[in-house]
Amino acid sequence: MAHWEISETDFLSACASVHGGADGGVGTLSEKTVHAVLKHCCAPFSDSREVQIGGFIADAVGEEGIIEIQTTGFYRMRKKLAVFLSACPVTVVWPCVETLWLRKLDPLTGEAGARRKSPRRQCPPMLFRELYSLGELVAEPGLRFKVVRLEAEELRSAEKVRGRKGHWPTYQKIDRYPIRLLGEVDVDCKEELWKLLPVRPEELPETVTAAEFGSLCGTGADLGRMTLKVLCRAGLAQEAGKKGRAVLYRLERNESSIKSPPLGENQKGMSIMPVMPSREEAWALLCQYNEEPFHRRHAVTVEGVMRWFADQLGYGDEKDFWGLVGLLHDLDFERWPEEHCIKVQELLTERDYDPKLIHGIVSHTGRIPGFAPEHQMEKVLFATDELTGLIGAVALMRPSKSVQDLEVKSVMKKFKTPKFAAGCSREVISEGAEMLGWELSDLIEKTILAMRSCEAEYEKY
């Protein structure tokens, strides 16, 4: 299929019309320049931009269908994409900033200061993180992707600026503008997803674990796992048993005619290290978005419970990670109850937090499509989240107001009284026990023990 390309000339003229020149002129500060430049490149004529289709606005419409430019948060496009794809092919254009220069704005002169290279850089395989959040949509015929590889500059405030209420002061990103077009990668059908990776499918073994795949592709195990899941959804890989405790994937390599792009400097041996926050950072983040002592207390309770279960179930070396997921699981609930488990993806993704942490948190209600509790840790969180509320409420009825002398039968009795602590869903708790393959009484007993282990801690809140 012939596909359109962004020429150097189109790129430079788009830069010129959006921000007054590709050599660093700073123009319309209110508009996100990377987005605007790409929109001009994809649709040079204004009447083909911002077109209303099926109740949504498309960035551009061209001969090849709809064009959407999206930098991050692909999960927000799911509804829109489903509607657009029922009408015609859609190309999602993803700017991939492979080289980023940072400049601070001088408050006195109003000029941008000397630039320094940012250690943060993107590469085409990172698109798999976004594709993962599209769920089954990724296999839709008619969905295409265009990765536009860029060098860009980011202009920041000279001093840290206080953000919205409750946000920590930080350097404010004034704008990011592209300065050089490095190349493009076109994925015109799901079979071409291989083109995003720096290795050809035929260079990979027939079966791999996520860790092996991540190391062969230079993406690290977690992005490797997400990539394999996307490839499974696209029918290019499938689960094929286990190797030790790790899932083994069989790669479908029939499409060997698909040529991977030549390896770019930036892709060779690139390692993408996802960020795992420290306990202190996670606590600060929790407090930033949760002011209610009740919510903070619940977070600390679930953190302690998760740590106990990690020890008990043979995941002692991952105890800190289980605790972090517990601590942050309801991060977005106080401020965005309507977007619970959706907003949190944005809050954590923009901090480059580990996808493993994000999956653990987003899957905890089992209600977000494409994010089912899969790992033992996620099942434990699903099962105990509501149950800690019920156990806490039963404990409060006792003279001691403590879980230390609470018995399983007291909780079982209240479990069967729907009006008692009606907000704690008995259905979810039962489903959680089933998911784990445990008797309900067994789950309750373990959770009481877990809460006993950390009661002193959550009593402080």
Contacting residues toward Fe ion, per CB under 5 A: 330, 385
Mapped to the 3 state alphabet, what secondary structure does 192-241 carry? HHHHHCCCCHHHCCCEEEHHHHHHHHCCCHHHHHHHHHHHHHCCCEEEEE
Instruction: Please report how close the Cβ of residue 334 comes to Fe ion at its closest, in angstroms.
Output: 11
Q: Which is nearer to Fe ion, 10 or 431 (CB)?
A: 431
Q: How many CB atoms lie within 10 A of CB 97?
A: 23
Residue 413 dihedral angles phi and psi, to the nearest 5°: -65, -45
Least distance (Å) from Fe ion to the CB of residue 372? 17
In the bound state with Fe ion, the residue whose beta carbon lies nearer, of 370 and 392, is 392
Compare residues 303 and 330 and give the one whose CB is closer to Fe ion. 330
Q: How far is the CB of 435 from Fe ion (least distance, A)?
A: 16
By beta-carbon proximity to Fe ion, the closer residue of 227 and 345 is 345
**Nearest partner of 327 among 230, 454, 237, 437, judged by Cα:** 454
Residue 428: exposure state from Cβ atoms within 10 A (0-12, 13-18, ≥19): middle
Report angle CA 122, 120, 71 to the nearest 5 degrees: 45
Of the pair 70, 388, the CB lying nearest Fe ion is at 388
Residue 422 CB, nearest approach to Fe ion (Å): 16
Least distance (Å) from Fe ion to the CB of residue 349? 20
Contact 129, 226 (CB under 8 A): yes
Least gap, CB of 385 to Fe ion (angstroms): 4
Q: Select from 249, 167, 186 the least CA-distant residue to 212.
A: 249
Which C-beta is closer to Fe ion: that of 185 or that of 302?
Answer: 302
Which amino acid type is present at position 314?
A: G
* 3-class DSSP assignment, residue 153: strand
Nearer to Fe ion, 94 or 371 (CB): 371
Half-sphere exposure of 150 (CA within 13 A, CB side): 28
H helices, E strands: number in the chain: 15, 10
> Min. distance of Cβ 330 from Fe ion in angstroms?
4
Q: Which is nearer to Fe ion, 175 or 330 (CB)?
A: 330
- The DSSP result for 10-64, as a single string, is HHHHHHHHHHS-TTT----TTS-HHHHHHHHHH--SGGGEEEEETTEEEEEEETT
Q: How far is the CB of 389 from Fe ion (least distance, A)?
A: 8
Output the smallest distance, CB 108 to Fe ion, in A.
49
Q: Three-state secondary structure along 320-364? A: HHHHHHHHHCCCCCCCCHHHCCCHHHHHHHCCCECHHHHHHHHHH
**What is the rounded CA–CA span in Å between residue 157 and residue 174?**
7
